């Protein structure tokens, strides 16, 4: 299964840009186009994939990074919520700091899938 970032962040960025656009026309239009373009590129270049043996996190625009975390090395999975969306932090033996994947929808579902695959 492949998971992407939630689209609700896009709505927040566009809402802020529209408020700025209302008060400062030139800056607001640049901000609106810039944030929409930034989000689109960020959304397309970041993904979390649950394979049969590992969690694979791919990120980066210019410098691509792929982190593969075997289920046997995962110590815990934490969720930081904002409404129905949230961040997932995977604490594992391979890395000194938790691996974080931000702004996903239904993070509980992903956490449950990871724990289910850890038990297999």
Q: pLDDT tens for residues 24-49?
A: 777 777 777 887 788 788 878 889 99
CATH number, domain containing residue 68: 2.30.29.30
Quote the pLDDT of residue 103: 84
**Structure tokens belonging to residue 50:** 């649950």
Identify the bridge partners of residue 50 per DSSP, sorted by sequence position: 55
In the chain, which stretches have pLDDT less than 50?
Answer: none
How high is the pLDDT of residue 7?
A: 67
Number of structural domains the chain divides into: 1
In terms of C-beta density within 10 A (0-12 exposed, 13-18 middle, 19 or more buried), how is residue 17 classed?
A: buried
**pLDDT value at residue 6:** 66
For residue 42, the enclosing domain spans 2-119
């Amino acid at each position: 299964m492949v998971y992407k970032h939630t689209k609700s962040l896009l709505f927040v960025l566009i809402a802020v840009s529209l408020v700025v656009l209302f008060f400062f026309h030139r800056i607001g239009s640049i901000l609106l186009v810039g944030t929409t373009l930034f989000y689109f590129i960020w959304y397309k270049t970041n993904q979390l994939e649950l394979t049969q043996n590992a969690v694979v996190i791919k990120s980066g625009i210019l410098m691509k990074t792929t982190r593969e975390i075997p289920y046997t090395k995962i110590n815990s999975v934490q969720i930081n919520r904002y409404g129905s969306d949230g961040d997932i932090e995977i604490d594992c033996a391979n890395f000194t700091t938790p691996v974080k994947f931000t702004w996903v929808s239904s993070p509980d579902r992903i956490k449950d899938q990871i724990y289910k695959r850890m038990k297999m």
